[in-house]
Amino acid sequence: MRLTANGISCVRGGRKLYDGLSFSLTGGELLLLSGANGAGKTSLLRQVAGLLPLSGGEIGFEGGDLAEETHFVGHASGIKDTLSVAENLHFWCALYGSADAATEDALARLKLAPLAMLPARVLSAGQKRRLALSRLLAIRRAIWLLDEPDAALDAEGRETLLSIIAGYRARGGIVIVASHAALDLAPSKEIVLGAAAETAAA
């Protein structure tokens, strides 16, 4: 399994965010994206997910259909306030076509099981973030694309998130994380986006 980006570029609003960017990731590796606000971290994640067209270059994936093998968790939670916690997760599972999704285990791991029947609108910001992250555990995908995944999480939530990511990598998953926080992610590679994109091995 290998994810590759060859000479990719991104232009938004007439402004070039990055140009000629390349990287390669295999199972178990994590790429950390850092840089100032507006440098292109979210845009890069969205390009890998197929949600934003490339301005140049190409992205390839050896291991299946890239669109069907990615989990993108962005700033917007995608939570429907009128549905219960459990119904939100079941909705995502139906959307992703995962009939065998481990929804109960996912909610338990994120400490949402006692809240499963409550409407999502009563959740705190941190609980809503946990709910958004629960689909990572419930629905199997080869690549996780995480945009500031620790946003609104408390210390316990961050530790749970780090444990989940570590476990996923140990099973051979590929992770790309955009983050400002000093999370203990032990990245395999890092790209610093800014005036010039720099790639470095950890």
CATH architecture of 1-69+142-202: 3-Layer(aba) Sandwich (3.40)
Confidence check: pLDDT of 41 > 90: yes
Confidence check: pLDDT of 58 > 60: yes
User: How confident is the model at residue 75, as a pLDDT?
Assistant: 83
- pTM reported for the whole predicted model: 0.92
Domain extents for the chain?
A: 1-69+142-202, 79-140
Q: How confident is the model at residue 83 (pLDDT cuts 50, 70, 90)?
A: very high
DSSP bridge partners of 15: 12
Mean pLDDT of the chain: 91
Instruction: Please enumerate in sequence order all residues whose Cβ is within 8 A of that of 171, keeping only pairs 6 or more positions apart, or say none.
Output: none
User: How confident is the model at residue 183, as a pLDDT?
Assistant: 83
Opening angle at CA 16, ends 13 and 21, nearest 5: 135
Q: How far apart are the C-alpha atoms of 199 and 202, rounded to whole Å?
A: 10
For the segment 112-160, what is each residue's pLDDT rounded down to a tens digit?
A: 999 999 999 999 999 999 999 999 999 999 999 999 999 999 999 999 9
